Amino acid sequence: MNRFLLSTLTSFLFLALSCTSSTKEAGAAANTKDTIPTIKKAVASSMAGNFSTQSELRFDSAAIKDFLKKYPDFNKFSKDLNKFYQSRSFSYAWYDGNGLIEQAASLYNRVEQLQEEGITRQLPYSKTFDALMDDNDSLLLREPMNAEAELMLTSQYFAYANIAWEGIDEKETQKLDWFLPRKKLSLKNLMDSLISEEGKTILEKEPVYYQYALLREYLKKYKTLEKNGGYPKITADKKSYKLGDSSNTIKTIRKSLYLMNDLTTPDTLSHVMDATLESAVKKFQLRHGWKDDGIIGAAMIREMNIPVHDRIRQLLVNMERCRWVPVDSKKDYIMINIPAYKLYVVENDYVAWNMNVVVGKSMHKTAIFNGDLKHVVFSPYWNVPPSILKNEIIPGIKRNPNYLKNHNMEWNGNGVRQKPGNNNSLGQVKFLFPNSFNIYLHDTPAKSLFSEDQRAFSHGCIRLSEPRKLATYLLRNDKNWNDASITEAMNAGKEKYVTLAKTVPVFIAYLTAWVDRAGELQFRNDIYNRDNRLAEMILTKE
């Protein structure tokens, strides 16, 4: 997975999600023409041009105050506007000696196409900006170079960057229980970098996590698919379909899988489940996090019948999450994507390996946050959380006086703990990264749950399918530890703390759609109903 995350999630997020890695899109080549006399509304998005580096043409500093008084919705950018123009002695950035530069047209075109970014809201004063960029606008005809037009362009750029590259305010994301570090953009620095890099187009290198652009491409495809009528509704005439079966319903299934790009052959008329269709079914199953048994059952048909409009909505909310993530990170880290039930070990923005995990059930949601893994604890005690003590252990003791003995537990002050051993709820090893949510990674004696497609079974902590592998990885550079000593410590029956020489960042994230490094669009169930809450915040009512 190339490039994830958050300062070190940015790393994540996703990443993970890719479960893999991905490729960047190439930036558009810059147009060599430097200026244009007027701006037309239909300017092509590929219009590039250089930013104005001139310094002789200036406006009065008081113009900023007058501008913000007239357009108060831009007051949130007051500091950025003042810092930017003070640093260039109030010289024009969107004009040169020939008038407005081509970058103004490029910006206007992107603002006009804001919905392609998965954004249904409008920028402030969009109608005013539209009128300004119309070549019949009286302001430009009256005063071809003026401070109001200059400041409108810069403010629209700041507003665009804010909504398309940063997303909703951090206070709003915390209402969604998202406590991962948020990306911080310097709007002034964005403008400075555009002007200082000669020939760079205004939006050539977007400061967003790479998954954003990949999801945006699929958004275009799904919008086209919706416009063309979507995919047909499948009505089953039997409980399941497997290799060799024949049914008219299979024809409908073929068409849907073809439209979803899981079936590559255009033959959608056959009513027989052949090997080609079975392969397409397996591909669909893998893209949705299921076992690829190649059998079409009721659950798969329900998934295939999810309307295109709902999938578009899922893409939009995950694009929004990508706006929050730092662009990339060269650090090694661990990322867990809750809806994917996966842990990813990331090295230099590449997924070295991954494993299945069990996460919290809906009533005991695993929190979305980050921490630094500091300790490996072999043969751990399990200190029973107060909620479990109250709701499960105490009632158990009342029913059976030998409850603690039968479960290898003991009183520990006012609490209860389970002694180390093969049946300990934390298994033979746990991994600690101090946090206020009391969440950690650990082994478990309940191994069978890792073979399930949906793995939300815990009280909030994260159970690992391969805990020994993670312990070996974390201690790989410690000469005091090897396979034999790790095995001994895991089976010692005596708790032992090991402090890592170097902490490892851990990011627990939540993505229900992403593109893997093979370019395939992955979907997962919104197990905590977080997509709906976010959609209500970012999407306008239709």
Q: Is 37 in a helix, a strand, or coil?
A: coil
Per the residue annotation, which of 271, 288, 442, 459 is the catalytic one?
Answer: 442
User: How many CB atoms sit inside 10 A of residue 198's CB?
Assistant: 9
Task: Name the token pair of 319.
Answer: 């694009």
Active site residue 442: yes
| Whether 165 contacts 202, CB under 8 Å | no
Instruction: Give the orientation angle of helix 248-259 with respect to helix 275-287, to 10 degrees.
Output: 50
Look at residue 537 and give its three-state secondary structure: helix
Question: Based on the number of CB atoms within 10 Å of its own CB, is 179 exposed (0-12), middle (13-18) or buried (19 or more)?
Answer: middle
Pairwise CA distance, residues 178 & 173, whole Å: 6
Residues in the chain: 542
Bridge partners, 335 (sequence order): 344, 507
Sequential DSSP letters for 377-410: EES--EE--HHHIIIIIHHHHHH-TTHHHHTTEE
What is 312-353 written as a DSSP string? HHHHHHHHHHHHHS-S---S-EEEEETTTTEEEEEETTEEEE
Quote the tokens at residue 396: 């158990």
Which one is catalytic: 19, 322, 407, 461?
Answer: 461
Task: Label each residue of 274-316 as H, E or C.
Answer: CHHHHHHHHHHHHHCCCCCCCCECHHHHHHHCCCHHHHHHHHH
Coil/strand/helix, residue 188: helix
Is there a contact between 214 and 24 (Cβ–Cβ < 8 Å)? no
Distances (CA, A) of 506 to 211, 336, 343, 364, 371: 19, 8, 10, 20, 5
Active site residue 19: no
Report the C-alpha dihedral over residues 373, 504, 355, 300, rounded to 10 degrees. Answer: 90
What type of residue sits at position 438? N
> Do residues 518 and 347 make contact, with C-beta atoms less than 8 angstroms apart?
no
CA neighbours closer than 13 Å in the CB half-sphere of residue 271: 5
Question: Which residues lie across from 9 on neighbouring strands?
Answer: 6
Helix or strand run (H / E) with residue 187: helix 187-196
Q: Is the dihedral of CA 187, 188, 193, 194 positive or negative?
A: positive
- 295 in Cβ contact with 281 (< 8 Å): yes
Please list the active-site residues: 442, 461
